[in-house]
Amino acid sequence: MLTGHIDVVPPGAPEHWTTDPFGPVLKDGFLHGRGTVDMKGGVACMLMAVEILKEMNIPLKGDIVFTTVVDEEIGGMGSLAMVDRGFHADAGIMTEPTANRIAPLCHGILWGKIIIDGIGGHAELTPNSWYTSGPVDAVQLCRQVLDGIDILNRRWMFDPKKNHPLMDLPNQIIVTQLKAGEHPSSMAGKAEIIIDAQYLPSEKDEFGLGGHVKREIEEHVRNICQADPYLRKHPARVEWILDADCAEVPADNPFVRLFQEAVETAALSPVLSGFGAHSDIGLPTSLGNTPTINFGPGDPAQAHQPNERVSVRDLIDCTKAIALAVQKWCA
């Protein structure tokens, strides 16, 4: 099975782009545009690999299942629907950008909202104490929670459960959005912190999801609140928005070994690596009985950035490697 998503994230501020984000531009050996790396470039490689095999009349004893999905960037419902409708195979390649390295592992992610309730009041006048009539500055409380997140990230750096030999970085809790305040001259009565937290396949709960890590984060937020007299009585709370699962295909899996041979034949490195972001490989691997690995063109650091671009060399090399892998596996 060759699979990939065709949805993209918004381009952001147009002044940050030197080309039209939705008009592909070929310049200096690179294809520019939103989605060239994440991940329409990889989808194009999948398609070209199949077309090349057909044009060369390469006989295959097995079928190629070609799928593209939407909704990957906001939760993975497209891949879930694909699996639910019965699409499966003996092995799969998902062409997320890995700089053409085989990545049989990805992170799971949790999106959460930490809600902090203060007490609004005039920002410029001497306040009463919070236990009479307020105010209590939710922005100040927000700083304490953010400091506490930094402490947990520091702890995770040295926790063996939060590290994997194929991953460049330990698991992290990344603050991606902040919202606080109601009026320029009023203390904030409420604050919200949106987090993106990572977990490894070894941390999955009994449902194959991130329940253990959710509880770990909730406990840490409770402990942060114990350090402040107001938060002890009015603790911050966590509302979970998304739990997108992860997977790891073992290095000794027959398809991983065969794909390493194909990649080496295409003059690329067969060394395995981890995919630091989330990808949908957990759904076909865990639910669809299709061991699926990430392998695709482009520098993953280009994903979601202005002036996203992928090299033509990467596209060609990826196409070769996929065609060789399909030919070897299905022969």
Cis, bond preceding 39 (omega within 30 deg of 0): yes
- pLDDT, one tens digit per residue, over 80-117 is 999 999 999 999 999 999 999 999 999 999 999 999 99
Quote the tokens at residue 57: 């009349």
pLDDT at 329: 96
| 10: confidence class by pLDDT, cuts 50, 70, 90 | very high
The model carries a pTM of 0.88
What is the mean predicted confidence (pLDDT) over 297-323? 97
Quote the tokens at residue 226: 């114990």
| 125: confidence class by pLDDT, cuts 50, 70, 90 | confident
Q: In this structure, how many other beta carbons lie within 10 angstroms of the beta carbon of residue 56?
A: 9
DSSP state letters, 280-329 = TTHIIIIISS--EEE--SS-GGGTTSTT-EEEHHHHHHHHHHHHHHHHHH
Q: Which of 243, 325, 327, 270 is nearest to 292 (CA)?
A: 325
The answer on pLDDT for 277 being more than 90 is: no
| 131: confidence class by pLDDT, cuts 50, 70, 90 | low
- pLDDT, one tens digit per residue, over 34-66 is 999 999 999 999 999 999 999 999 999 999 999
pLDDT at 109: 95
The answer on pLDDT for 132 being more than 70 is: no
- pLDDT, one tens digit per residue, over 136-148 is 999 999 999 999 9
pLDDT at 78: 94
Q: Are 113 and 241 in contact (CB under 8 A)?
A: yes
Q: Which of 321, 314, 316 is nearest to 262 (CA)?
A: 321
- pLDDT, one tens digit per residue, over 159-169 is 999 999 999 99
pLDDT at 74: 86
- pLDDT, one tens digit per residue, over 149-200 is 999 999 999 999 999 999 999 999 999 999 999 999 999 999 999 999 999 9
What is the mean predicted confidence (pLDDT) over 240-266? 96
C-alpha angle with apex 228: 210 to 151, nearest 5 degrees?
45
Q: In this structure, how many other beta carbons lie within 10 angstroms of the beta carbon of residue 316?
A: 14
The answer on pLDDT for 76 being more than 90 is: no
Domains in the chain with CATH codes = 2-106+248-330 (3.40.630.10), 108-244 (3.30.70.360)
| 127: confidence class by pLDDT, cuts 50, 70, 90 | low
Mean pLDDT of the chain: 95
pLDDT at 52: 97
> Coil, strand or helix: which one is 65?
coil
Residue of 201 and 129 predicted with greater confidence: 201
Full 3-state SS string of 108-137: EEEEEEEEEECECEECCCCCCCCCCCCCEC
Q: In this structure, how many other beta carbons lie within 10 angstroms of the beta carbon of residue 23?
A: 9
What is the mean predicted confidence (pLDDT) over 65-69? 96
